[in-house]
Amino acid sequence: MERASVNFIKSIAPLLHKKGREEQNCFIVEGERFVKEIGQDWRIKCIIVSEDYAKSKGSQFECKANVFITPEYLFKKISDTVTPQGIIAVCEKRLFRLEEAVRPGGISLLCDRISDPGNLGTLIRTANAAGADCAILLNSCELYNPKVIRSSTGSVFHLPCIEEESLEKILRLFHEQDIRTVAAVVRDGTLVYDAELTPPVCLMVGSEACGLSDELIGRADMRVVLPMRPGAESLNASVAGSVLLYEIVRQRLRRQI
């Protein structure tokens, strides 16, 4: 393990912000659990540990990348958490192509204008657990936001996630591969338990405040709603998306019996 210079730590600090991540094409992964989740197909540029962490656990990560030690006060300058665990990895971004990530016969998740990092991370986590092939981020918050990484519990390293700006490109690919698009709506849709949702299918979940865009709803092959007590508020985007994803899983398993 090497000693990190002050200038080296200063070069890492911009990764706490979106602009820095875009300029360096890298992002921060903080916390022992999440650093362990980084797979071999992701490039780790370096790992930084605090002096206290290095005394007990720092050497276990030397097989992953070069490990640098820094004092606690400097470590806090590159930490995004209130109570840092003492370990951060600097990882290169990966670019997944839409055409390679979307698989015929599978399940895709499209997140439209999901602005809350916690919700986006939870949706990615659930999609990964449900066996989805990919998550497509359309005008949503940044994938490599530290809060997204944490709330996904590391699922961003196991599920291809594509930040795509072209709705036309997405819908054209679904049409070419005979993948049905299913819009999650609050009203004027088929009760989800009465809908035919066996794959190939793409579940489309919209923003916390406004739901899916009118264009996505209008061009969807199907609209589905969850049963709700009259007068109840609409469900959180990540909760609704999770329930719908697992209804797709349930129907897929039922068909296999």
Band (pLDDT 50/70/90 cuts) for residue 58 is: low
- What digits encode the pLDDT tens for the residues 87-146? 999 999 999 999 999 988 899 999 999 999 999 999 999 999 999 999 999 999 999 999
Is domain 2-92 in CATH 3.30.1330.30, yes or no? yes
Helices (H) and strands (E) in the chain, counts: 11, 12
Q: pLDDT at position 231, please?
A: 78
72-91 pLDDT tens trace: 999 999 999 988 999 999 99
As a whole number, mean pLDDT of residues 169-174 equals 94
Q: Which pLDDT score is estimated for 208?
A: 77
* β-bridge mates for residue 49, sequence order: 69, 87
- Angle 168-171-173 from CA coordinates, rounded to 5°: 105
Quote the CA–CA distance of 110 and 140 in Å, as a whole number: 10
> Which pLDDT belongs to residue 229?
86
Q: For residue 92, what are the CA distances in angstroms to 43, 69, 103? A: 6, 20, 25
In this structure, CATH architecture of domain 98-256: 3-Layer(aba) Sandwich (3.40)
What pLDDT score does 233 carry?
74
Domain residue ranges in the chain: 2-92, 98-256
CB atoms within 10 A of CB 197: 23
CB atoms within 10 A of CB 228: 13
This prediction has a pTM of 0.93
* pLDDT one-digit tens code per residue, 215-247: 999 999 999 999 988 877 778 899 999 999 999
- Cβ contact 181:204 at 8 Å: yes
Q: What is the pLDDT, as a whole number, of residue 155? A: 96
pLDDT digits (tens, 9 = 90+) for 187-219: 889 999 999 999 899 999 998 788 899 999 999
126, 242 contact by CB (below 8 A):
yes
pLDDT score, position 257: 58
Name every residue whose Cβ is closer than 8 Å to that of residue 87 and which is 6 or more positions away in sequence: 30, 31, 32, 35, 47, 48, 49, 50, 53, 57, 58, 61
| β-pairing verdict for 87-92 and 26-30 | antiparallel
Among the listed residues 161, 194, 193, 202, the one whose alpha carbon sits nearest the alpha carbon of residue 27: 161
Q: Is 70 exceeded by the pLDDT of residue 12? A: yes
